[in-house]
Amino acid sequence: MPEVRLVGPNGEQVGIVPIAKALELARESDLDLVEVAPTARPPVAKLMDYGKFKYESAMKAREARKNQAHTVIKEIKLRPKIDPHDYETKKGHVVRFLKAGDKVKVTIMFRGREQSRPELGYRLLQRLAEDVDELGFVESRPKQDGRNMIMVLGPHKKKAEAKAEAKAERAARAEERAQEYAQEQESAQG
């Protein structure tokens, strides 16, 4: 006669019982008999409200997806003979991406005779890596790839940490604005 190891609704061990007895117990307690470990010998079954179980597991999965941070690779393209002001602008973008917890792929595009001077691109990438050292690290060293030289920078902070920090910062700014507004209202009435 087939048997199952039965677990009660609160996780307590009932023991090894015939399937018919387990089904009878499920009917009496108005619960479902759910097989939780079919490969075990004997199989493990649990008394539970299956609808509630499905709902709770769906909610847990949704919560896990909500808290999951997606790593995004942002790309910045430069030329070896970049103007200092343009370099600062591009560096600002890299800083913003790293602060947000994203990886940055920096590509230097060589044209014509520039291809014979890869050290210019290498020096530029090294300079950029040093300039953003406190926010990120070099994940993959500069590599020549045809007409391009590529380097990947990774953030020191994880995406989730960066998101939480940004949220806290926004809340602090909103609180500050609310206090300023309250003071303005007070002074206007007084």
Q: Are residues 59 and 135 in the same domain?
A: no
* 32 shares its domain with 95: no
Beta pairing partners, 150: 107, 143
The answer to whether 157 and 144 have CB atoms below 8 angstroms apart is no
Q: What angle do CA 63, 67, 68 make, to 5 degrees?
A: 115
Statement to judge: residues 136 and 77 lie in one domain:
yes
Same domain for 57 and 85?
no
Q: Would you say residue 167 lies in a domain?
A: no
pLDDT of residue 163: 76
Judge whether 65 and 35 are in contact, CB under 8 Å: no
Domain, as residue range, for 8: 3-67
Q: What is the mean pLDDT of the chain?
A: 87
Give a three-class secondary structure readout of 55-98: HHHHHHHHHHHHHCCCCCEEEEEECCCCCHHHHHHHHHHHHHHH
Structure tokens at 129: 């890596």
Does one domain contain both 78 and 153? yes
Last residue of a domain, one of 67, 92, 116: 67
Tell me, yes or no, whether 132 and 92 share the same domain: yes
Same domain, 89 and 142: yes
What CATH number has the domain bearing residue 23?
3.10.20.80
pLDDT value, residue 69: 66
pLDDT in tens, 136-168: 888 889 998 889 999 999 888 777 777 777 788
The CATH number of residue 147's host domain is 3.30.110.10
